[in-house]
Structure 1
Amino acid sequence: MNQHVIVTLTLNPSLDRTIEVDRLVHGTVIRATSARLDPGGKGVNVSRALLANDVPTVAVVTAGGADGDQLVHLLEADGIPLGAVRVAGRTRSNITVVEPDGVVTKLNEPGEPLSREELDAVADRVLAEMGSASWVVTCGSVPPGVPTGIYARMCEFFTAAGVRVAVDTSGPALLAAVEARPFLIKPNREELAEAVGRPVDSVGDVVEAAEELRDRGAGTVLASLGADGAVLVEEEGVTIGEAPVAVPRSTVGAGDALLAGFLAAGARGAPALAEGLAWGAAAVGLPASRMPRPEDIRRDIVRIHTRPDLGRSLIA
């Protein structure tokens, strides 16, 4: 393996079918204007974005049933170096409906449980890929029946092996992982508010919530805020930025592209935040859950502020 490989781990990957419609009307028959099937899951998307920009990566995923076979086929067809762990449960499918104004409606299946033996096999597969890894990125929802502390235990395990760990999950799994002192977490606005148990309505609220999670154990907090951009809170200080998108196509996977760009650029400071924002904005301008390639990325639209306006309200 090449040096500085970024290994992603997705415990609950999916087949993502994205359907574009002129208008979504409840209780009616609607003809799609286009449809696309992509391999899905946060870690999968991070690896897809990295590979599209020639950053070495390996995607470790669970795969079960015929849908799992198709997931593996799609990943292999994309040329993504893959560590697939066969499991008994069926890989889930998700449906995303996108309207012309960029409004997205998602229907996500919960996934199926993983046994202790299957979880051990996943951890072993990550370890096998870690010889030249610079990061392990643990991403996405926890399948039903899997302990909420699974990412925390994996964070401790992989950190002890000498690799930086990034965590992108939500709810109790995020709070548990924070206690395991990951190098980086990437919550969105809703996940950040849930983690601290109060609304996050301004840039100052984001910074305060991020600092609280850093006090609990997280090293760096990269908070993605949709159209409001992102806030980076790290030991060196606070940086915020935006990358306006003139014609949004789909927000699916945009936060994953943001994380991928941030990691690819060194995961520290304004330059990494700017790169992440450029990748995330490029993803918003693409249909379905396509990940941006170099020709899609516009760094000139990124605005970075090292002296943030903490009183600025976030878009409702």
Structure 2
Amino acid sequence: MICTVTFNPSLDYIVRVDDMRLGVINRTVYERILPGGKGINVSIVLGNLGHKSRALGFLAGFTGNEIARRVAQAGVDADFIHVEKGMSRINAKIKSAEETELNGMGPEVTAADVDALLAKLDVLAAGDTLVVSGSVPACLPSDMYERIMARLTGRGARIVVDAERDLLRRVLPYQPFLVKPNNIELGDIYGAALKTRADVVPYARRMQQEGARNVLVSMAGEGGVLVAEDGSVYESPAARGTVVNSVGAGDSCVAGFLAGLAETGSYETAFRMGLCAGSASAFSDHLATRDEVEQLMAQ
């Protein structure tokens, strides 16, 4: 079983405006509504690649109901906790000469809601995988990542963490199976500017020494690096293509890696599939599909 956790899911309202101006009426020339959140993106791409998963997190109100409906429509097991106060956020992403985002707040999550989420994780055991990703909203305890890692210690489940700065570094002592910073996030943690794949390798090894078993670093147009727990180091330039939308590319990379590892047991194949899934999402206005990933892998 693969489970993903999204603490603050959203409905993403994506629009294009030819010439966005403040203080006047602007009319859209394109619009789309998608369920949003890093864990949800991972689950949807896993489904596109032929792997089932269960999406966990907190939802509220009519927007929460719509998120759950759309996630289930994508073939994902939507096992969210519906909380009482507030509503799941709507994030407006306005694409014009410049890109502007307006992100909602999200619902009020109580201690009882947190306990309910933790209880859902108790089913995970050896052979299962949990993906925890994204920021922790202000209504939740700041140590949510550590609570989850501590709760699952000794159960044998593989835990994947995709988070920034302190959220990521504080879980390293729990030995997550995989962490996926990008090169900027990795550099921010260690106070270094990491521009090339060669720059990344020693800092990925340092993160591994601090506890991470596998470190996958995405680098947008520069490709990526994997420092695997068996001592192998893999690096690759990016696939060739035109970037259309980078939202969800990192999440797609995680999904591709997990799918590749499940199918072959090979870190090298998992790494290549992860990079190609990330690129496939970046090269389109939707999340990566199996055909798109395989076409890029053939390069």
Aligned match for 2:88, one of 85, 88, 91: 91
> 2:252 is paired with a residue of what secondary structure?
helix
1:6 is aligned to: 2
Matched residues in 2 for 1:210 and 1:89: separation? 40
1:14 partner letter: S
Alpha-carbon contact 1:278-1:302 (below 8 Å) kept: no
- Find the aligned partners of 1:229 and 1:198 in 2 and give their Cα distance: 19
CA distance in 1, matches of 2:119, 2:208: 29
3-state SS in 1 of match to 2:12: strand
1:43 aligns with 2:39: yes
TM-aligned CA distance change 1:28 to 1:189, over 3 Å = farther
SS of match in other structure, 1:160: coil
Q: 1:262 aligns with which of 249, 257, 262?
A: 257
Q: Which runs of 5+ in 1 are unaligned?
A: 304-316
Q: Work out the CA distance in 2 between the residues paired with 1:54 and 1:8.
A: 16
Separation of aligned partners in 2, 1:104 and 1:124:
39
Cα distance in 2 for partners of 1:299, 1:154 equals: 37
Q: Which residue pairs with 1:76 in the alignment? A: 72
Return closer, same or farther for 1:104/1:122 CA change in 2, 3 Å cut-off.
same
Whether 2:124 is the aligned partner of 1:126: answer: no
What is the aligned partner in structure 2 of residue 115 from structure 1? 110
Once residues 138 and 178 of structure 2 are traced to their aligned partners in structure 1, the CA distance between those partners, rounded to angstroms, is 25
Q: Choose from 20, 30, 54 the match for 2:16.
A: 20
The equivalent position to 1:219 in structure 2, one of 206, 210, 213, is 213
Moved more, 156-165 or 131-140: 131-140
Please state whether the residue corresponding to 1:297 is helix, strand or coil: helix
Secondary structure of residue in 2 paired with 1:68: helix
Letter in 1 for 2:178: L
- CA shift for structure 1 position 109: 3.4
CA distance in 1, matches of 2:28, 2:191: 39
Alpha-carbon spacing, 1:161–1:264, altered in 2? closer, same or farther (3 Å): same
TM-score for both structures, normalised by structure 2: 0.88
Give the corresponding residue for 1:308.
none
Aligned pair partner of 1:246 in 234, 241, 249: 241
Match of 1:295 among 284, 291, 295: 291
Structure 1 stretch displaced more, 205-214 or 35-44: 205-214
Compute the displacement of 1:125 (Å): 1.7
22-31 or 108-117, which deviates more: 22-31
Change (3 A) 1:173 1:112: farther
Aligned counterparts of 1:19 and 1:109: Cα–Cα separation in 2 = 16
Larger RCO: 1 or 2 (CA < 8 Å, sep 6+): 1
Q: CA deviation at 1:55?
A: 0.5
Q: State whether residues 242 and 277 of structure 1, in contact with CA within 8 Å, keep that contact through their aligned partners in structure 2.
A: no
Which amino acid is the alignment partner of residue 204 of structure 1? A
Cα separation, 1, equivalents of 2:24 and 2:238: 36
- The 2-side partners of 1:244 and 1:98 are apart by 25
CA change 1:245–1:182 in 2 (3 A) is same
Query: What residue is the counterpart of 2:148 in the other structure?
Result: 154
Larger CA deviation: 87-96 vs 27-36: 27-36
Deviations 1:124-157 (A, max 9, x none): 12334x3685211111110114233211221232
CA positional deviation for 1:112: 4.5
Equivalents in 2 of 1:194, 1:41: separation in Å? 23
Provide the C-alpha distance between the structure 2 equivalents of 1:132 and 1:211, rounded to a whole number of angstroms.
Answer: 26
TM-score (norm 1): 0.84
CA distance in 2, matches of 1:154, 1:275: 28
Gaps of 5+ in 2: none
Q: Distance in 2 between matches of 1:22 and 1:229?
A: 32
2:273 counterpart residue number: 275
Matched letter for residue 242 of structure 1: P
Q: Distance in 2 between matches of 1:54 and 1:131?
A: 22
Query: How much is the aligned-residue C-alpha RMSD, in angstroms?
Result: 2.4
